[in-house]
A and B are shown apart, each in its own frame.
Chain A
Amino acid sequence: MASLLEDKSNRLRMTGRGGELVGAYWDELFTARERGAQVVWYNGHALNPLFQAAGISWCHGEAFSARLAAQHLEGPAQLAGEEYGYVNELCSYSRTHLGCAVLTNDFGESETGIVDTVDQRELASRLPEPDFFVNGYQGCSTGQQWDQMSYRILGKKVPIFTLSLPYMFGSKPDAGYLVGEEWETATDYVVDQLEKLIEFLEVQTGRPFDHDKLGEIMSYIKAASQLRREAMALCMAKPAPATYWDWVASIAHINFMPAEQRLIDYFQGVKDEVADRLASGVAGVADERYRLYFDGIMNWNKLGWLARKFADADAAVICGRYTHQNFWQEPQLIDPENPLRGLAQHYLLCSNSQGFKTLKQAMTKDCDDYGIDGVIFHASRTCRAYTNHQHLLARVAENQLGIPTAFFEGDIADAAFYKDEILETRLAALLETIDAKRARN
């Protein structure tokens, strides 16, 4: 591979428009206090439709950490987290967000002098303090404790609600994707949990929960998700008109942006652009020679860099576990007339909550559907939950699908764990292995 002198990636134009929408969302959140809105900090699953229906402003901790990392603004928050006492092996999402809590709390002059007051002012003034916390996380033990830690940092002064969500082991005889006793029982359980969360929200807001509004919100999400999935499916074409990096760029929209008509308009725009490219033979990577599957959470510090790096090697990353097996990926399950069931089922469908059997099935399907030549695993240093199954999945790809694999180390939000030479060597070796396989065949 040559050095990255020329950008051979061809990202969707809609990504720019999407960036404006995301920026507007955060700016609005930063002014929530001035508007007299209540603010909830939450982590884990996309609980935002419930908050939106309840008329609350919401801050998704992981999303804020990812945004800071993508803008290369994560340093002061991570430093504040470390200064407070969290080691750098802790999930960098949580370390960043906990650092924000430390800064938001404004303890005054830094005890150690590591985090200066400029950092405090810049970040603390932007993220409004929460009126309460809601945690809805499974499959990740840090995630389950994260809001508890924030709760303590903020002096246990605000209420906290923890949603209990089961892990889907898939070990019962009739267990399967969207079917079986485990699926039905777990769905009922989570619906019950959501009803309790709604009661909590009613207490916090002092208002009855607007179930009609939730139905309306879910109808927007359903339509947006359908468009997103249809646009993704267009990328089964060779060459693919868009890449994984485009789907990463639209995670924010599908995962936590307000559900309204402009969400549908955005994904309609994405789908139209992908369809136009397909019709006119425009590819997401100029000279697509390899089609890759990406397993792992996004390395948010490196989104643009990785898009260019893979494209530079003529490698089109087409799909991945993070983008294609999360975020309202089964819109047919959403019933606006009975929204809680669809919500519950999508929380259970998060790939962090799925046992190996389902992950294997999903990866196999995506590799078949999208004509994948190789799988690249991003072994995220501080995200154990997402890396747990990676060696097992690699074995499936190699032994059962005959697809070469490679690993590279990095992290979700801590740039220090990424080393470019490691990816450089392993990506080149993966592509050479694909070439060798083609030569054999």
Chain B
Amino acid sequence: MSAYVVGMDLGSTSAECVVIDERREIVATAVVETGTVSRKGLQRAIDEAFGEAGIERDLVRAVAATGYGRRLVPGGADFVFTEISAHARGVAALFPGVRLVVDIGGQDTKAIQVDEAGRVERFAMNDRCASGTGRFYEGLAHALETDIESLGEFASRGKADLEISSLCATFAVTEVIALLAKGHDPADIAASVHHAAAARTLGLIGQVGKASPVALTGGVARNAAVVHSLSEALGEELLIPENPQITGAYGAALLAAESLDGGSQPDQNATAPAPPHDHGGSGSCADCAGSKTESSVTMLTLTAPSGRVV
């Protein structure tokens, strides 16, 4: 029996794959850093997800794709959605009632206002400027001689608010180097850049209009300093998924499942197959496939004071 729907998000810096069962619950996830849009990276994500779920591929009912590389899915996708709709749907499942989604990925920032059902009402995207995106923070981390995983914690130590005049992904690095040369504390510089980038994101949100509650998705949501700065700029807590990178892939899978079922709700009485899976300590899909409900998604523990853990 074909039971599973696969959602894939092939972005500019990573590939994500999510497998959901017929109750639309996540049974496996995989995130592969690719460096750029990569068919091979997507294939690796698919292999990892299927390996984790331990399911046969002929049990897959449909494949849905989103992201810049959505047309690169091996064998083609049954459904294709934009990241905007996919993130909106994913967030609506993770956090019912959210009205504003801010997705910050590898090179895009999106502000998406959604209705009560998670349907897109309006959206705005950054223009061709990578300010405040994953690429931007990679450059910042490099200039500050730290790694991207540590950048958020590093910036959280900063106290001063320095003036950052350029948020161009290229020129900001030049400015950071100049500030370092003047003897400023690298943590202060990191914190100041995060504040400035948050202010810019606020402008994008202004285009669609602020609405509450707000969820932050995309890989950059793992950066605690971004969460803190944006939360402070918005004046409210942000909802952060446990694994913010998979939100688009998850949303694409849900949209595909709903399309297959004519928009109906999942059959809660359906019995999901119980695939053997070994999480290997990743915890990302939880030992949960048979019992987890949408509202019980485990949240990433953040050091940011404003990121609410649900």
- B-contacting residues of A (Cβ < 8 Å)? 3, 379, 391, 394, 398, 404-407, 409, 419, 421-422, 425-426, 428-429, 432-433, 436-437, 439-440
- The answer to whether A428 touches B82 (Cβ under 8 A) is yes
- The answer to whether B85 touches A432 (Cβ under 8 A) is yes
| B117 / chain A contacts, CB cutoff of 8 Å | 440
Complex Cα spacing A379 to B117, Å:
31
- The answer to whether B82 touches A409 (Cβ under 8 A) is no
Give the residues from 113 to 134 in chain B that come closer than 8 angstroms, CB to CB, to chain A: 115, 117, 119-125, 127-128
- The answer to whether A409 touches B128 (Cβ under 8 A) is yes
Complex Cα spacing A440 to B127, Å:
29
B6 contacts A by Cβ under 8 Å = no
- The answer to whether A436 touches B122 (Cβ under 8 A) is no
Complex Cα spacing A379 to B82, Å:
21
- The answer to whether B128 touches A422 (Cβ under 8 A) is yes
Taking residues whose C-beta sits less than 8 angstroms from the other chain, chain B's interface range is 20 to 34
| A433 / chain B contacts, CB cutoff of 8 Å | 84-85, 120-123
- The answer to whether A432 touches B207 (Cβ under 8 A) is no
B25 contacts A by Cβ under 8 Å = no
- The answer to whether B119 touches A439 (Cβ under 8 A) is yes
| In the complex, the 5 A-B pairs of residues with the closest C-beta atoms, listed nearest first | A436-B119, A429-B84, A429-B82, A432-B85, A428-B82
Determine how close the nearest CB of chain B comes to the CB of A172; give it in whole angstroms: 30
Complex Cα spacing A436 to B120, Å:
7
| The residue from A391, A409, A432 contacting B84, defined by CB atoms under 8 A apart | A432
Main DSSP-derived SS at the A contact region: helix
Knowing A391-B207, A409-B128, say if A432 contacts B83 (CB, 8 Å). Answer: no
Q: Closest B residue to A391 by CB, please name it.
A: B207
| B123 / chain A contacts, CB cutoff of 8 Å | 406, 429, 433
| B124 / chain A contacts, CB cutoff of 8 Å | 407
Binary CB contact string for chain B from 231 to 273 against chain A (1 if under 8 A, 0 otherwise): 0000000000000000000000000000000010000000000
| The residue from A391, A394, A429 contacting B120, defined by CB atoms under 8 A apart | A429
Determine how close the nearest CB of chain B comes to the CB of A226; give it in whole angstroms: 38
Give the residues from 52 to 105 in chain B that come closer than 8 angstroms, CB to CB, to chain A: 68, 71, 81-85
| A439 / chain B contacts, CB cutoff of 8 Å | 119, 263
Complex Cα spacing A339 to B81, Å:
54
Determine how close the nearest CB of chain A comes to the CB of B32; give it in whole angstroms: 21
| A428 / chain B contacts, CB cutoff of 8 Å | 82
* Known A3-B71, A433-B122; 4 more pairs at CB < 8 Å: A425-B84, A436-B115, A437-B121, A439-B263
| A421 / chain B contacts, CB cutoff of 8 Å | 68
Determine how close the nearest CB of chain B comes to the CB of A88; give it in whole angstroms: 14
What are 7 A-B pairs at a CB distance below 8 A? A419-B128, A422-B128, A432-B82, A432-B120, A433-B122, A436-B85, A437-B119
- The answer to whether B121 touches A436 (Cβ under 8 A) is yes
Complex Cα spacing A428 to B65, Å:
13
Determine how close the nearest CB of chain B comes to the CB of A357; give it in whole angstroms: 21
Determine how close the nearest CB of chain B comes to the CB of A388; give it in whole angstroms: 15
Complex Cα spacing A407 to B120, Å:
15
| A406 / chain B contacts, CB cutoff of 8 Å | 123
Binary CB contact string for chain B from 124 to 164 against chain A (1 if under 8 A, 0 otherwise): 11011000000000000000000000000000000000000
**Residue from the set B81, B85, B117 with the largest chain A CB neighbour count within 10 Å:** B85
Determine how close the nearest CB of chain B comes to the CB of A14; give it in whole angstroms: 36
Determine how close the nearest CB of chain A comes to the CB of B112; give it in whole angstroms: 9
| A419 / chain B contacts, CB cutoff of 8 Å | 128
**Residue from the set B81, B120, B128, B263 with the largest chain A CB neighbour count within 10 Å:** B120
- The answer to whether A440 touches B119 (Cβ under 8 A) is yes
Complex Cα spacing A421 to B68, Å:
8
| B71 / chain A contacts, CB cutoff of 8 Å | 3
- The answer to whether B119 touches A429 (Cβ under 8 A) is no
Determine how close the nearest CB of chain B comes to the CB of A392; give it in whole angstroms: 11
**Residue from the set B68, B83, B121 with the largest chain A CB neighbour count within 10 Å:** B121
Complex Cα spacing A437 to B115, Å:
10
- The answer to whether A425 touches B82 (Cβ under 8 A) is yes
Q: Closest A residue to B124 by CB, please name it.
A: A407
Q: Closest A residue to B119 by CB, please name it.
A: A436
Complex Cα spacing A433 to B208, Å:
13
Complex Cα spacing A389 to B235, Å:
29
| The residue from B81, B115, B128 contacting A432, defined by CB atoms under 8 A apart | B81
Complex Cα spacing A191 to B166, Å:
47
| B263 / chain A contacts, CB cutoff of 8 Å | 439
| A405 / chain B contacts, CB cutoff of 8 Å | 122
**Residue from the set A394, A433, A439, A440 with the largest chain B CB neighbour count within 10 Å:** A433
Determine how close the nearest CB of chain A comes to the CB of B205; give it in whole angstroms: 13
Complex Cα spacing A3 to B122, Å:
26
Complex Cα spacing A399 to B218, Å:
28
Determine how close the nearest CB of chain A comes to the CB of B180; give it in whole angstroms: 30
Give the residues from 39 to 57 in chain B that come closer than 8 angstroms, CB to CB, to chain A: none
| A429 / chain B contacts, CB cutoff of 8 Å | 82-85, 120, 123
Q: Closest B residue to A3 by CB, please name it.
A: B71
| The residue from B83, B115, B120, B128 contacting A425, defined by CB atoms under 8 A apart | B83
- The answer to whether B121 touches A426 (Cβ under 8 A) is no
| B115 / chain A contacts, CB cutoff of 8 Å | 436, 440
| B122 / chain A contacts, CB cutoff of 8 Å | 398, 404-405, 433
Complex Cα spacing A237 to B124, Å:
31
Q: Closest A residue to B68 by CB, please name it.
A: A421
Q: Closest A residue to B88 by CB, please name it.
A: A436
| B68 / chain A contacts, CB cutoff of 8 Å | 421, 425
| A426 / chain B contacts, CB cutoff of 8 Å | 125
Complex Cα spacing A433 to B83, Å:
12
| A409 / chain B contacts, CB cutoff of 8 Å | 127-128
